[in-house]
């Protein structure tokens, strides 16, 4: 089964393409539900586009005629007894939310969020990222703005920094039980 972390990567890449300055990924597991929210302050979508966006044939891609990021995430949530919602405002930003029944037989594993975060940071775009995860109230927050402040001019995209970030997120995930999701 395809990991939810890969869906999250797809959705956050849409935020990067939308020119966002800040992208927030929230993953909370509690009361038997997994809730994933990806929000951005990018270009947003108008109402007419928004109505069609969960249809695979809606895309502003020029390289092919289908866009699968949103339809696949929606399908993953609905297959796992959850719900999907997308709100967006032109010029303001977009929020994508998906919920999953944690012990549903068709729920995909969360997968490797450390790799997803590192892929997003390493993309080299201008966006800052916040990754906020909690399992039964125990969690941590990773924020590229805090990291940048500590790095004192060293770019967050440096390979050594990315390895550090990946290891740090992996360790934190083990601490909170997030790697078992």
Ligand X SMILES: Nc1ncnc2c1ncn2[C@@H]1O[C@H](COP(=O)(O)OP(=O)(O)OP(=O)(O)O)[C@@H](O)[C@H]1O
Footprint on this chain of ligand X (rule: CB under 6 A):
10, 14-15, 18, 40, 42-45, 53, 58-61, 67-71, 94
Pairing of strands 22-30, 128-135: parallel
**Of 129, 128, 116, the residue nearest 7 (C-alpha):** 116
Q: What is the closest distance, in whole angstroms, from the C-beta atom of residue 24 to ligand X in the complex?
A: 12
C-beta closer to Mg ion: residue 33 or 72: 72
Report in angstroms the alpha-carbon separations of 19 from 16, 125, 127, 128, 137: 5, 9, 8, 11, 32
69 near Mg ion (CB under 5 A): yes
Give the Cα separation of 148 and 90 in Å (integer).
Answer: 29
Q: What is the closest distance, in whole angstroms, from the C-beta atom of residue 26 to ligand X in the complex?
A: 15
CA angle (164, 122, 20) in 5-degree steps:
125
C-beta closer to ligand X: residue 10 or 170: 10
Q: What is the closest distance, in whole angstroms, from the C-beta atom of residue 131 to ligand X in the complex?
A: 17
C-beta closer to ligand X: residue 67 or 178: 67
Binds 68: which of ligand X, Mg ion, none (CB < 5-8 Å by kind): ligand X
Give the Cα separation of 36 and 160 in Å (integer).
Answer: 29
When binding is defined by CB under 5 A, the residue of 14, 58, 94, 144 that contacts Mg ion is 14
- Number of residues located near Mg ion, criterion CB under 5 A: 2
Give the Cα separation of 2 and 100 in Å (integer).
Answer: 14
Q: What is the closest distance, in whole angstroms, from the C-beta atom of residue 120 to Mg ion in the complex?
A: 13
Give the Cα separation of 170 and 118 in Å (integer).
Answer: 11
Binds 7: which of ligand X, Mg ion, none (CB < 5-8 Å by kind): none
Q: What is the closest distance, in whole angstroms, from the C-beta atom of residue 42 to Mg ion in the complex?
A: 12
C-beta closer to Mg ion: residue 5 or 176: 5
Give the Cα separation of 176 and 171 in Å (integer).
Answer: 9
């Amino acid at each position: 089964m395809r990991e939810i972390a890969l869906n999250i990567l797809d959705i956050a890449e849409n935020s990067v393409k939308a020119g966002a300055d800040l992208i927030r990924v929230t993953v909370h597991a509690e009361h038997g539900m997994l809730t994933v929210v990806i929000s951005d302050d990018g270009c947003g979508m108008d109402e007419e586009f928004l109505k069609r966006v969960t249809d695979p044939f809606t895309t502003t891609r020029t390289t092919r005629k289908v866009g699968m990021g949103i339809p696949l995430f929606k399908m993953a949530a609905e297959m796992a007894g959850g719900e999907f919602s997308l709100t967006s405002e032109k010029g303001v930003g977009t929020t994508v939310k998906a919920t999953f029944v944690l012990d549903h037989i068709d729920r995909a594993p969360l997968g490797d969020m450390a790799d997803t975060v590192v892929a997003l940071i390493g993309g080299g775009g201008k966006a800052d990222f916040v990754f906020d995860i909690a399992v039964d109230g125990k969690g941590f927050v990773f924020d590229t703005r805090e990291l940048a402040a500590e790095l004192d001019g060293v770019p967050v995209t440096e390979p050594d920094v990315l390895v550090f970030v990946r290891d740090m997120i992996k360790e934190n995930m083990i601490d909170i039980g997030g790697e078992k999701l």
